[in-house]
Amino acid sequence: MAGCRMKLELSRVALGKGRLGVLKGLGKTGQLSLEVPGCLLHTHLGTVPHLTQDTLSTLSTLPSVTQITLSNIAEHQEVLEEFKDGFRKFAGLHDTVLYCALHDPATPCPTGHTTNKTVSVWGSGGRIELTVAKFMALQKAVKPDWYQSMADGETWQINTSHKRVRKSVDRSLAHLDECLLVHQKSQELEGVEVFGVVEGGDILEERVRSAKETAKRPVSGFCLDGLQTGSMDQALRTQLISAVTKELPEDKPRLLQGVGRPDEVLASVEAGVDLFEGFFPFQVTERGCALIFNFNISSNPELAVLEPGEDQETAGDSQHNGDLNPDDQTQMTSFEINLKDKRYQGDFRPLVEGCGCYCCRNHQRAYLHHLLVTNELLAGVLLMIHNTAHYHAFFSALRDALAEDTLDLLKRRVLGQTERKD
């Protein structure tokens, strides 16, 4: 948008190796920032699942950007309009940048409900159809710091026709133009940033066309949609992202939607992605699992978290890439252990040796196993604390690796490969 404060300052850009920098000018005052590559804080209605704000505040290095979604908020439009002060104050959030997306990345959405003029979201009460007018009325009620434009993203399924993909690109561009028109005339949205959405399914020429046309609009950044886990293999995803990012301006951030697995994050960063949605720890927690993958590449043993060993081999027995299907995100990955397994009932080690989170400092795997098999609510709390801390520490390690030119070593460590010694 004209006069926008958001600015991406890149300190390092290496072809095929990712972008390192800081997204500055965030929030109402423009004083907040977010390091990239980075991920957003995933929430349901402004709350990190299983955690109170007090509990969340015990975690260090949390991102400055909180993600909320219209799929959770749309049914509360009348309440927010009556409240008048926006969602941040309504949810009791403080000192955070509010980003409003369309769909919850952790929840699959039914398809087949878009038209030339509408898209649909699903709340607890069922489907809610959004026109541009209703979509923008919601943004005025929410009062976010930035939001994703309305878009037709229902082309991620395998074998979607070229005609349908082209239509989704055309619709998304038309929605963006309408949103920008309303936005520019709205006093309530003054100072709020808009992210354009790049669509195009798995068709390269449509992806490039969508990127070129979206980049012509006065947007502050870009959402890369329809590339989520389960929609395509990583090689194709990387090819499409690389082609798209070549068409986008260097000084505006690229947010990849629906991708959170560490191996896919690494490949996507190398292809030019800056930001990710932080839903992966929540999915792992809901499975009763704990993230244990190793991202330590420091020679200092005091900084070690987990050396490759039995745990990663055990986790590696689970499905990693798996069959390509929409339910792929619900399946256990090689980056976690299933604490419901009986093997952990007598395991008195922390989830990850050397991890500084509350869970690992105070509890053992055996206790987590007990909480899970007895359906205690505390299990979700402790797992979410650890998984959130571990995942965001991974992004910190990723930034360090880019700064120190050790990304290849980090990739080998995260993927469980040991270095060869001559």
Residues annotated within a binding site for Zn(2+): 355, 357, 360, 386
Give the tokens for residue 275: 């930001």
Q: Tell me, what amino acid is at 95?
A: D
**Cα 375 to Cα 74, 340, 369, 378, distances in angstroms:** 31, 10, 10, 9
CB 24 within 8 A of CB 33: yes
Interatomic CA distance for residues 152 and 10, integer angstroms: 31
Interatomic CA distance for residues 62 and 396, integer angstroms: 10
Residue where the block lists tokens 């006069």 = 3
| Virtual torsion, Cα 348, 352, 357, 361, nearest 10 deg | 30
Interatomic CA distance for residues 87 and 139, integer angstroms: 10
Please report, in range form, the residues annotated as the binding site: 355, 357, 360, 386
Interatomic CA distance for residues 396 and 401, integer angstroms: 9
Q: What is the DSSP letter of 47?
A: B
Q: Among 43, 73, 131, which residue's Cα sits nearest to residue 388?
A: 43
Residue where the block lists tokens 């390091």 = 35
